[in-house]
Structure 1
Amino acid sequence: MSGKNNKMEISILHNADLIIGQHASFVVKLSSDEKILPLKNIIIKNPSDNISFNVVSAKIVYDSTSKKGSATLSFTVLKKVGNSSIQDGYPIKFEVHTDATTSDGSGFQAVSFAGTAHEINAETLSLFIEKSYLQTPLKDNTKPSENHNFTSIYTTLKSKSGKVLVGTPVFITSGIHNKMEEFDFKDANQNEILLEKLGPNKGIAITSDSHGLVKFYLYPKLSLVSMLELKTVIPDIFDVYAKKTLYVVNYSNPGYMNSIGVPNILGYTIGNLSADGGVPYFLTEVSSYDGALVGDVILFFVNDIYTGYAVPLVDIKAQLDQYSVKLPYSIFKQEEPSNFSYTVVKSSGHSLYSEPLPLTYVGGIPYEPVADVKREFEPCIVHPSIGVGPDNILQPGRGNYINYDAIMRYPGYKHKGLFIEIIRSNDINKNAEINPVPLDITDITLTMYINSDNNSFQKTYTKQMSLAEIGGTGNPDSIFFHIKYDDISGIEGRGYIYFDYQFYQDNLLKYGVAWTSNIETAAGPGETGN
């Protein structure tokens, strides 16, 4: 008889989809309020004929209290039973028992597994990396900040018949030894994932969710220039590389003797750079350099910060020593001195650096959302500092203003600044021009654009704020961003503002409709925002 508080659990999903030929391991955990008697075993019974366990009995390892214990078992999903091949959809079954009892004589309830064998579409094992270039500071013994310096990585596992595979365990590692140790990993819920060793390499073991999604976040751990070739491994069956190589990059002024040149901007010589003619981009030239090869990647930096713009070298003659690279003026902060430079990353991970080009961008083109993209999702909702309830909404449109009263902190309220809400819902109308963001989208990049008489700039946000942190009422399905008071205060005369957002869906970049209004947030005499 099983005890009331005696539990036996298995780490594998009870109805997991497994891949034909896959070797799967799982942990059996026992727990009780009473001591579990020693020298007991976990026992497998009634396995289906399409799986083979390494052993059908494993000794329990106890913790120091003897109230918990565990054992690890593993099995292979066979490709054949006798002379017949295992077919897609074939059921997998077994039962997990134990002869363990507790000091009061009670036992543990058996656990049943009833999964399914599938032929996987191997292409769905290839991971998608949202940001293939991450930047770290070049400082010894300094862990890079996690703020903005990470990427989400994911894929959706599917069978050859198109079914999403749920609860399927996979192992993710690097094609180069000892590279995984240079990074930290978190799962979709921001919980740390520890490295495990499988075969010659360390990696992370992760399981697909109820939508077949395998998703995790990667953070550089070390201040190094590096590269990482991720691959998804199902031992002895599949070894599939990610769609992109991940580079950890930086810019360091090499000095004249060690540089590979200096960027040139068409029409610019020295001093101020202006956007004449109403064109939102400028053309820049990258000089030829020793050892240039197709496959090199050129990344552009402003004030040593990666701009997010990179150009792969595909035609050396057409791209080098030519004004061939088009970049937006918006990479520069208006009226602030800038050092414009580039880094060349070789396929080996080795980097080459240009000297910086000093300039001051004086404007000529407003900071605005890009115009030549399809916008399929609803505009954001802008809320004042007092909260994100349905009665606290700032109206869009020119003639409507974000003013000082909207961003100040009021007595009895915690925050100052603005809140931006992006509505998510699975109520999708395929015939509508715009829809809410689907509920399964969690990673969104918000951009704010401001143009005014005294301050013009754009700023990107990825860090979200929970409804609990904001306080008060609000839509629990929405995603919220906090625009800090200092980011938006002091905007004077004839100002206007945009918010837009973007996210990846099915490996494609999607955009929301831009929100816009006027803005004038200069504080009056004695006003400090509090």
Structure 2
Amino acid sequence: MKNNLSIDERSISIYFEKEFLQILDYDSTPPNGDCIKAVALIKNKEGKPLPNVSVDILEKEGAYFGLVSIYHSDKEKFVEIKSLSSEQKYFSITSDKNGELIFYIYPKKSTSVIFQVDSMVLDITDRISSKNKVYIVDNNKEDLNLPPLVISEDNSSLLVDPNSNTFNVLIQNYPGAKRNDTILFFINKQYVQKLFFVQEVNELGNDSYVIFPYNMFKANELANFSYAVVDKLRTVRSSYPQGIIYPGGGYNQPIDNLTRIYDSCIVYNSYGCHDDKNIIHDTIHEKDIDNKCNNSHHEALFVKIIGTSDYKNKTKVPLGAEVTLNLYVNNYPNTIYQSKVKIMPTQPDGDNSNTATLLFGIPFSYVGHIGNGDIYLDFQVNYYGDISYGKIWQANVYTVRPGGEVTGDACSDGKTWSGIC
């Protein structure tokens, strides 16, 4: 390999697709055992993917390779662990024909680990830390000494600011708090992709706020909100759960202070996405959704997001990226929030095209019988751990039939669909 090879150093940083895994009471093994996928897309400084680049993955203190089993992308071959020195181990992974680098981590029986790595291309790049860490720990060791989270609530009902789509949680000082502790957050024992890193213990209880979106809760359902403290030695203490009910009423629109780089989605009426005359621009009427029964999931709307294989095109979603579509419907006093995760196709739609189409369906039950409402759609893109956003699409909704009757909704298949498809 030539030392003058142009590599974007940021692109060799490893991203772990899962940040938390409950410790197991058995050794997890391929191909079907619980595992964490580690990925990177190796690119040059212009953004072009680079095949056949050998990247060294280096062990970090405390995240020792022997605490897990590590396999190549085929989930069949162990990676070969080598010694850089008496105290430094590493293994090498080569990017595939598409520039993608993949390996898998399998937990070992009753073994806690906070796993992270450095990456390096010898003689070309510096050591680059992974984008995130993996916490394989036991979240079932509840500790009565851990204080509850400081949440604005009244008799378990969350106090809601109607002008905000987020709320703050204050992290109190807790017994045995140490610098470099990590606090993970859970709802009903499910990790909510939020963590807090303790930098200074004396800041706990003062400026130690974590911001959460209201829509992580289901409205009017009891949720058990808890946290776990993980120290550098992988010792874990979990709080007892707090019962919280989100009564609804938060600001049900996309977050407005995000940088949004991708073109907004394209929305079609119930007659399908194969004719541009079906595109909806700023208003949804009853006639737009009346073809629902001819659609497999009673879709009233179709949502299209365009992807591209052109790495120079920064306005369209990269092929293979994870896309989360968010739907917000407001019909005072009722609101709907739903999300759906899909993967942008990895290949273009046709031989002579560099674009691909990702399609979502919005069922009639979310947009029918609205007298004077509004709808918003936006999306988040996760591309090898880099998070970016699409522009907001919005429209007014007037879907009450003349006279206001609700008869005739039922389709001949007798089904009622809900959830974005």
TM-score by length of 1: 0.59
Instruction: Write the letter of the residue equivalent to 2:381.
Output: F
CA distances 1:137-161 after superposition (whole Å, capped 9, x unpaired): 5664597999xx96663253659x9
Q: 1:314 aligns with which of 175, 196, 199?
A: 199
Instruction: Tell me what 2:391 maps to.
Output: 513
Instruction: Tell me what 2:322 maps to.
Output: 444
Q: 1:328 aligns with which of 186, 190, 213?
A: 213
1:242 aligns with 2:139: no
Q: 1:260 aligns with which of 128, 146, 149?
A: 146
Instruction: Tell me what 1:231 maps to.
Output: 118
Q: Is the 8 A contact 1:376 1:512 kept in 2?
A: yes
Structure 2 counterpart SS, 1:287: coil
Q: Give the superposition deviation at 1:328.
A: 2.5
Q: 1:362 aligns with which of 247, 252, 258?
A: 247
Q: Which whole-Å CA distance do the structure 2 matches of 1:239 and 1:180 have between them?
A: 25
CA distances 1:18-64 after superposition (whole Å, capped 9, x unpaired): 0xxxxxxxxxxxxxxxxxxxxxxxxxxxxxxxxxxxxxxxxxxxxxx
Q: Which whole-Å CA distance do the structure 2 matches of 1:382 and 1:256 have between them?
A: 49
Q: Which whole-Å CA distance do the structure 2 matches of 1:480 and 1:226 have between them?
A: 37
Q: Which whole-Å CA distance do the structure 2 matches of 1:352 and 1:167 have between them?
A: 43
Q: What are the within-5 Å matches in structure 2 for residues 344-423 of structure 1?
A: 344-383=229-268, 388-391=273-276, 393-400=278-285, 405=290, 407-410=292-295, 417=299, 419-423=302-306
Gaps of 5+ in 1: 1-17, 19-116
Instruction: Write the letter of the residue equivalent to 2:127.
Output: V
Instruction: Write the letter of the residue equivalent to 1:459.
Output: S
Change (3 A) 1:437 1:298: same
Instruction: Write the letter of the residue equivalent to 1:318.
Output: E
Instruction: Write the letter of the residue equivalent to 1:228.
Output: F
CA distances 1:196-255 after superposition (whole Å, capped 9, x unpaired): 314256856223657xx4433757667975322223356799883524441235784544
Change (3 A) 1:479 1:137: farther
Q: Which whole-Å CA distance do the structure 2 matches of 1:445 and 1:502 have between them?
A: 6
Aligned residues: 391
CA distances 1:460-497 after superposition (whole Å, capped 9, x unpaired): 414456899xx999977224144485xx7455644543
Q: Is the 8 A contact 1:227 1:349 kept in 2?
A: yes
Q: Give the superposition deviation at 1:528.
A: 1.6
Q: Which whole-Å CA distance do the structure 2 matches of 1:156 and 1:473 have between them?
A: 25
Structure 2 counterpart SS, 1:178: helix
Change (3 A) 1:428 1:243: closer
Q: What are the within-5 Å matches in structure 2 for residues 33-112 of structure 1?
A: none
Structure 2 counterpart SS, 1:358: strand
1:195 aligns with 2:96: no
Instruction: Write the letter of the residue equivalent to 2:316.
Output: V
Instruction: Tell me what 2:336 maps to.
Output: 456
Gaps of 5+ in 2: 84-88, 401-405
Q: Give the superposition deviation at 1:195.
A: 2.9
Q: Which whole-Å CA distance do the structure 1 matches of 2:302 and 2:26 have between them?
A: 36
Q: Which whole-Å CA distance do the structure 1 matches of 2:59 and 2:241 have between them?
A: 34
Change (3 A) 1:277 1:238: closer
Q: What are the within-5 Å matches in structure 2 for residues 117-136 of structure 1?
A: 117-119=2-4, 124=9, 127-130=12-15, 134-136=19-21
Q: Which whole-Å CA distance do the structure 1 matches of 2:264 and 2:52 have between them?
A: 35
Change (3 A) 1:352 1:367: farther
Instruction: Tell me what 1:207 maps to.
Output: 95
Change (3 A) 1:133 1:279: same
1:502 aligns with 2:387: no
Q: Is the 8 A contact 1:297 1:313 kept in 2?
A: yes
CA distances 1:353-411 after superposition (whole Å, capped 9, x unpaired): 1121111111222332110012222111235677643448441424456976465454x
Instruction: Tell me what 2:403 maps to.
Output: none
Q: Give the superposition deviation at 1:281.
A: 2.6
Q: What are the within-5 Å matches in structure 2 for residues 144-159 of structure 1?
A: 153-154=39-40, 156=42
Q: Is the 8 A contact 1:262 1:357 kept in 2?
A: yes
Q: Give the superposition deviation at 1:344.
A: 2.2
Q: Is the 8 A contact 1:233 1:239 kept in 2?
A: yes
Q: Give the superposition deviation at 1:118.
A: 2.0
Instruction: Write the letter of the residue equivalent to 2:376.
Output: Y
Q: Which whole-Å CA distance do the structure 2 matches of 1:391 and 1:467 have between them?
A: 23
CA distances 1:249-283 after superposition (whole Å, capped 9, x unpaired): 578454453x52221213x2423213135233322
1:288 aligns with 2:173: yes
CA distances 1:269-310 after superposition (whole Å, capped 9, x unpaired): 423213135233322222323332222222222222222222
Q: Is the 8 A contact 1:232 1:241 kept in 2?
A: yes
Q: Which whole-Å CA distance do the structure 1 matches of 2:312 and 2:10 have between them?
A: 30
Instruction: Tell me what 1:297 maps to.
Output: 182
Change (3 A) 1:363 1:255: same
Change (3 A) 1:503 1:403: same
Q: Which whole-Å CA distance do the structure 2 matches of 1:327 and 1:290 have between them?
A: 24
Q: Is the 8 A contact 1:229 1:241 kept in 2?
A: no
Q: 1:337 aligns with which of 202, 207, 222?
A: 222
Change (3 A) 1:341 1:512: same
Q: Is the 8 A contact 1:275 1:363 kept in 2?
A: yes
Q: Is the 8 A contact 1:394 1:402 kept in 2?
A: no
Q: Which whole-Å CA distance do the structure 2 matches of 1:465 and 1:408 have between them?
A: 27
TM-score by length of 2: 0.72
- Bigger relative contact order, structure 1 or 2, given CA contacts below 8 A and separation 6+? 2
